[in-house]
Structure 1
């Protein structure tokens, strides 16, 4: 049976799971073991970046070893790498050439702007050297299609997609953070590929779920429920950052048909999602933030919905570890994440009359800070 493949922009179809290479960095042997497991799991799409330390040279070495054995997916490996925004044209050209040398390939399936997170990044593409770089890469057949990754707002992402320059995007669209789901659906309707960034880890550390979440998602494992939800939404491919072959078990189950959808398990999925919503509603009671964003803009620049979403997860599903991790990145990750936490609220009350649920937002923000503020943790990269 041929592996399942899904449309991805203008390029060849990709596997439902994409191997992210940001974790198998201890040695070339580790990368090779993970790549062999990815091949066995039916994966044909690989995602890497110069910013991931030795990922590109390790991956290039692993690809050469498997090639000597005649091991590759049907149609070959599809490789996406990235380039950070802000460079001038000559340095961008050299960065792309260097990626190709490290990977040992003549061209990339996809080249993504790595972190199109701010209006300045978008201007770099629309009116600056970024646009020249992307055109040069396409015109010289060094890449098959161009896209972007983004940690930015849905509005910024929509602006980027509206330029018509991009044929795929990588977004934080997750079961437990559906903020970008509408813009992802819009992209898919226009034939633009959508990769979900790290639904296992950034989507909630679902590989290590708390007891409450395990119970809330039953009969599914939280990871399975999250993966099923995203694939049912039509998301093109889900990134899976594997550090060892065993991390690819869910990709194996998908390729083997264990996660395939039909009418009966679609109904079971909807029932589980409804139980999940009800469980959170019961624990949160009248303090549940509905994520409508009506409270914005905050005069102090507090990202109220993003912070109360973390409180929803901590209180509603017991996801305290994940919520703490994300909360304590605030202000420490530059344009990759929020810059102000709940302590920036000055209790001006401007948000109160806007909230359709009549939440005591300043008090909930203070409670969020008490619950989640802790010693910061190191980011995976950067």
Structure 2
């Protein structure tokens, strides 16, 4: 059910809140996503966290609440994030907090429950409002989660004990996997909400948001500022195209102008990181006047430089990854267009050089190695339904020339 006036309100702090699907939580339209405020990506005891690191996290959370952003989101895999939050959260009014953590699925649900016990202890809380299964990205993680006796059933035991109020999932997976998880049903009605990627430069997951809306699920947009193009450090040419709005403000309005979207992760690393987002709240009711002309300018620039008006244009008509020799053409061709069309080169390099190093979180082999092992004719033959099949090999080569560099690992695997 789309957000209507009865499903949205503005609180005393000026924060807009939207009903988070069937959880009935009135969720702030911005959330304090926990990938950047913790002290690094290696888990460590609190005694190894520098005092300035803990102070920064404390101040970031306090500032969040001052602004009405009371949804605090983290994960077991975010370094010492849960441990550091466990210092500040018990000092805050518990009834004002919406706390979410995330746990990766496991083959053994007993292990999953043990991980939850550890997370709750680290957070220093008696319960969490929201628990996500972290990373339903492929058939294996989907089955670990939803099979009878799997991780979702394990979470039901936590709900029965009052340790978890609502259950959802996060995903970096392909659309078909996301839809399967959204449409999964059990005696409790399946998942209550979803954390997924969808923002201006990446819109192919819109059918998943529509499906979630039909099932009255909460919709949380992951990393719209970082994975959405590193918009906090966008190149001047892109910033000129989104003017007079900052690229992050433009992306905020683009996403939140859709009532099906309930909250965006801010990904704050320090207290001042909220400023642009909060300033954009007053512009939300002007979205229909502000963003169409910006979108038109962006698409015009893209067309001038790539001959297409959609950065994902070449990702249509592609077969599955296993039919393209492990070459993730969806990602490669999309990143090529982002680079040529909008000069989002630093962002594209970061994502491109992750290929081959991130497993199901960002699948596909190393482009140069795969291209060296096949001929142009083989790749063309693997793309029988693609209108540009004969030039895809050259486009991949172009992407390699533009973007290849030092290999990148997922943040949770970095020091």
Hey, what's the Cα distance between the residues in 1 that align with 2:214 and 2:19? 12
Q: 1:299 to 1:198 in 2, by over 3 A?
A: closer
Q: CA deviation at 1:328?
A: 0.3
* SS state at 2:194 partner: strand
1:207-218 → structure 2 map (5 Å cutoff): 207-218=232-243
Q: 2:362 aligns with which of 337, 354, 374?
A: 337
Equivalent residues of 2:315, 2:334 under 8 A apart: no
Q: CA deviation at 1:23?
A: 1.5
Equivalent residues of 1:211, 1:318 under 8 A apart: no
More deviation, 269-278/184-193: 184-193
Q: CA deviation at 1:274?
A: 1.4
Q: CA deviation at 1:291?
A: 4.1
1:347-358 → structure 2 map (5 Å cutoff): 347=376, 348=378, 349-350=380-381, 353-356=384-387
1:150-189 → structure 2 map (5 Å cutoff): 150-164=171-185, 165-189=190-214
1:181-260 → structure 2 map (5 Å cutoff): 181-234=206-259, 235-254=261-280, 257-260=281-284
Aligned to 2:156: 135
Aligned to 2:301: 279
Q: 1:371 to 1:292 in 2, by over 3 A?
A: closer
Q: 1:7 aligns with which of 10, 15, 19?
A: 19
Hey, what's the Cα distance between the residues in 1 that align with 2:325 and 2:410? 26
1:258-269 → structure 2 map (5 Å cutoff): 258-262=282-286, 265-269=287-291
Q: Compute the TM-score of the two structures, normalised by the length of structure 1.
A: 0.92
Q: 1:44 aligns with which of 70, 73, 86?
A: 70
Q: 1:114 aligns with which of 109, 131, 134?
A: 134
Q: CA deviation at 1:42?
A: 1.6
Q: CA deviation at 1:189?
A: 3.1
The reply to whether residue 369 of structure 1 matches residue 395 of structure 2 is no
* SS state at 1:214 partner: helix
Q: 1:16 aligns with which of 29, 32, 36?
A: 29
Aligned to 1:63: 89
- Structure 1 spans left out of the alignment, 5+ residues: none
Q: Compute the TM-score of the two structures, normalised by the length of structure 2.
A: 0.85
Could you list the structure 1 runs, at least 4 aligned residues long, displaced by more than 4 angstroms after superposition: 286-289
- Structure 2 spans left out of the alignment, 5+ residues: 1-10, 40-52
Hey, what's the Cα distance between the residues in 1 that align with 2:299 and 2:208? 22
Hey, what's the Cα distance between the residues in 2 that align with 1:364 and 1:289? 14
Hey, what's the Cα distance between the residues in 2 that align with 1:110 and 1:91? 19
Hey, what's the Cα distance between the residues in 1 that align with 2:212 and 2:312? 27
* SS state at 2:180 partner: helix
How many residues get paired?
372
Q: 1:172 to 1:353 in 2, by over 3 A?
A: same
Equivalent residues of 1:138, 1:144 under 8 A apart: yes
Q: CA deviation at 1:260?
A: 2.4
Q: CA deviation at 1:341?
A: 4.0
Equivalent residues of 1:42, 1:252 under 8 A apart: no
Deviation digits for residues 308-355 of structure 1, max 9, x if unmatched? 100010000001100000000011112110222433242211255522
Deviation digits for residues 178-235 of structure 1, max 9, x if unmatched? 1212211221232111111111111110000112211221222111111111111231
